[in-house]
Amino acid sequence: MMTVLTRILAFTPLLAVSLPAFLEAQSEPVRNGAVEARLISNHSTITPSQTFTVGLELKIDETWHTYWINPGETGQPTTLDLTLPEGFSASELQFPVPKRFITDYGFNILEAGFGYEKEVVHPMTITAPDSIKAGDTITIQGRGTWLMCDPSECVPGKGDFSLTLQVGDTPEASAESTTIEKFLKKLPKKVNWATTIALEGDKLVSTVRIPEGTFPEYADLHFYPYEVLQFDQLAKTEINEIENGLSFTTVKHADLEAVPETFDALIIAEVDGHKAGFHASTEPHGSATLTEASTNTDEVSTDTDERSMPFGGGIFGILLAAFLGGMILNVMPCVFPVISLKVLSFVGQAGEDRRKVFAHALSFTLGVLVFFWILTTGLLIVRASVGEVGWGEQLQQPAFVIGLIFVMVLVALNLFGVFEVGTSLTGVGGGLTSKKGYSGSFWSGALAVLLATPCTAPLMAPAITFALSQSAPFTITVFTALGLGMAAPYFLFAIFPKLLDVLPAPGTWMETFKQFMGFPMLVVAVWLIGVLSKQLNVSGLQWSLAAVVLLALAGWILGRYTGFDKPGPTRLKGRIAAALIFLLSVGMAYEASGSRAEPSQVEIQDVIAQKQAEGKNVFVDFTAEWCVTCKVNERTTIKTDKTRKFFDENNIELVFADWTNQDPAITKLLKEHGRAGVPLYVMYPADPDKDSIALPDGLITFGHIEDAFEKLEK
């Protein structure tokens, strides 16, 4: 008994800390008639600039229902008015896919409406300002209204809600996140299907161009208008196949005298009880419209504005840009540690046979090219599968990032002398070093490529964007030019060995320099851990780092117990122990890589549209945690006091589109602006009918932002 009591007392402080975090993600429930309502959040702890979701949850008694955005002629849609802390902003209330109700009032009086039974959550996207700080507490207050009906009566309902959230350094999902996620998946998807509407006598006919294969042949389709007084909602909709799509014919509403200037329709495909909704719409007078999210997988147009291409455009301009971009990569911070060791290897080769120096340069070049080809082939396979691809997407995979961290730590330990595999200074590839070190040069080139992808140089961006939209042979040609540019400086040493004379003479300083270069390797590892922190949840990150510790332990055992100064049995046991611990670390890392952080449910187009609806210009920073150029621009230009003041004075809202993890909406916008990756900076006007302005590639200045705004104002 005492043991149980002791354990309870031991856990009491933990419960005292945990319980408020659980409660803070929901308001007190309000019971009004047949509905119990509360305000919930998918996060109990938020961070500055975070976008999160709150939702009005309605639990509805049997036989009762509430209403959709189109409630029918006598219903009322649910509303939620929020009072937010200073600096916070919110989207419009969203409505999941509804069902149709037909109410029989007797005397042959029927009425149709759309709404929800049993339970529904109406989500709303909230964006926090960057001015809040860890330790703050914020309160969101709201008033919700709804109409609840059963076959015999309708009763209005309302409730006042108060939701308290903590501000921390790391966002924490709430116990209600699963519920919100469930209904976020039920939101209709906006599509760019060309849609028309026509009036034919007493029939309203809508045609929708739907990509082939979108719906299974056996899907049960429904067609609901977003606006009241367009359809006779009691009438049956006739659905017919047309070329590249469907036509929907129904009886017009008695009060409708002309074709609607705009028309929005919800198309629902029901398969085995599961419903998927698609929001299709027209522009005025029935012309086709393009809305935010597209399911069209047509290939990217290869038409390219030559003015945006380097060196006047053309194939040779692209290849030259790729070659020069590859040369620039040699001085980028994420590649420099590997390159420094490569230069050190040339110092060690001073005075050696010219053919040997040339062979090392050739091996390094081959490593660069082979790994560029491997990455490019992978991207082409992805492009063939999903139709969209961007340079740097491999860094969106936690397993790839953890693998790079492993390589950096192993290389650092090898440079520190914790374990030795081979004696050649060119053996940056660790265990892959062979006699004479040629494979070390090869793997040095491979490692440089793996680290190069986030360091997209300004001259590379147009070439890569163009290349990824072309045929596979041309794409591979461009990346071959990029690899040759990266390897070019080493060929200069090989072709002109006299250049080696400008390097310091070999000596004992080389060992000191070699050990010192282990620290930049660890710096790169720390940077990659920062990337990983945006991709995994807290548990996944902790287990990943634990796997790195085990990896270091394996390296230490390898160096401590497998040297030739140890007896044979000791060496064997050391190798077995190191191998087992290494395999354990790999398994642990692989398992941890699946613990992904909760993805954002907000599409960047929705955020832009929301800010424009508020009358604001929008500056969108398309960035990623692994993008070095992005971080330089943010530190030197975007997040400076001068830029913040300029944004405030000119009604410009700064929005970050984080591409650290996969985000199809961001990928789509990048492609629309002719980019295959980040960084990208776009100024959107408050008037959504006006064109946006994209800033130049690569490094930007305050002057670039001013110029973009001036063009916006013209």
210, pLDDT greater than 50: yes
Task: Report the range out of 326-335, 596-605, 640-649 with the highest average pLDDT.
Answer: 640-649
Judgement on whether residues 632 and 700 belong to the same structural domain of the protein: yes
160, pLDDT greater than 90: yes
pTM of the predicted protein model: 0.46
Q: Which amino acid is at 167?
A: V
pLDDT of residue 461: 52
Judgement on whether residues 318 and 459 belong to the same structural domain of the protein: yes
CATH number at residue 692: 3.40.30.10
d(CA 232, CA 126): 36
- Average pLDDT over the chain, rounded to an integer: 77
285, pLDDT greater than 70: no
Judgement on whether residues 453 and 382 belong to the same structural domain of the protein: yes
Residue 592 domain-assigned (yes or no)? no
Task: Report the range out of 434-443, 509-518, 615-624 with the highest average pLDDT.
Answer: 615-624
pLDDT of residue 597: 76
354, pLDDT greater than 80: no
274, pLDDT greater than 70: yes
pLDDT of residue 481: 85
pLDDT of residue 549: 95
Residue 638 domain-assigned (yes or no)? yes
Cβ atoms within 10 A of the Cβ of 83, count? 11
pLDDT of residue 121: 95
Residue 520 domain-assigned (yes or no)? no
705 pLDDT tier (thresholds 50, 70, 90): very high
d(CA 494, CA 441): 13
Domain boundary among 185, 212, 245: 185
pLDDT tens-place string over residues 450-502:
666 555 544 455 556 556 556 677 778 888 888 888 888 777 766 776 666 66
**What is the CB-side half-sphere exposure of residue 28 using CA atoms within 13 A?**
5
Domain boundary among 230, 253, 286: 286
Domain boundary among 494, 514, 534: 514
pLDDT of residue 437: 63
Q: Which two tokens stand for residue 5?
A: 């009591």
Judgement on whether residues 375 and 498 belong to the same structural domain of the protein: yes
Residue 412 domain-assigned (yes or no)? no
pLDDT of residue 312: 44
Judgement on whether residues 381 and 492 belong to the same structural domain of the protein: yes
Strand partners, 274: 271
Judgement on whether residues 323 and 201 belong to the same structural domain of the protein: no
Residue 531 domain-assigned (yes or no)? no
293 pLDDT tier (thresholds 50, 70, 90): very low
| CA-to-CA separations, 137 to 28, 181, 658, in angstroms, rounded | 17, 24, 25
653 pLDDT tier (thresholds 50, 70, 90): very high
Any idea which of 69-83, 283-297, 466-480 has the lowest mean pLDDT?
283-297
Judgement on whether residues 208 and 129 belong to the same structural domain of the protein: no
Full residue range of the structural domain in which residue 277 is found: 190-286
Tokens 């400086």 label which residue?
Answer: 489
Judgement on whether residues 322 and 387 belong to the same structural domain of the protein: yes
pLDDT of residue 199: 78
Judgement on whether residues 96 and 167 belong to the same structural domain of the protein: yes
Number of domains the chain is built from: 4
Cβ atoms within 10 A of the Cβ of 397, count? 14
d(CA 54, CA 40): 5
* Planar angle of CA 705, 709, 710, nearest 5 degrees: 115
Residue 524 domain-assigned (yes or no)? no
d(CA 326, CA 340): 16
Judgement on whether residues 148 and 213 belong to the same structural domain of the protein: no
Q: What is the mean pLDDT of residues 701-711?
A: 90
Judgement on whether residues 178 and 194 belong to the same structural domain of the protein: no
Strand 189-190 and strand 274-281: pairing?
A: parallel
pLDDT tens-place string over residues 99-154:
887 766 554 455 678 899 999 999 999 999 989 998 899 999 999 999 988 877 78
Judgement on whether residues 122 and 223 belong to the same structural domain of the protein: no
CATH number at residue 105: 2.60.40.10
d(CA 64, CA 549): 57
pLDDT of residue 508: 73
Q: Are 324 and 238 in contact, with CB atoms under 8 Å apart?
A: no
Residue 595 domain-assigned (yes or no)? no
Share of the chain above pLDDT 70, in %: 75
> Helices 336-348 and 509-516: crossing angle, nearest 10°?
160
- The sign of the torsion formed by the CA atoms of 257, 262, 268, 269 equals positive
pLDDT of residue 699: 82
637, pLDDT greater than 80: yes
165 pLDDT tier (thresholds 50, 70, 90): very high
Residue 385 domain-assigned (yes or no)? yes
CATH number at residue 239: 2.60.40
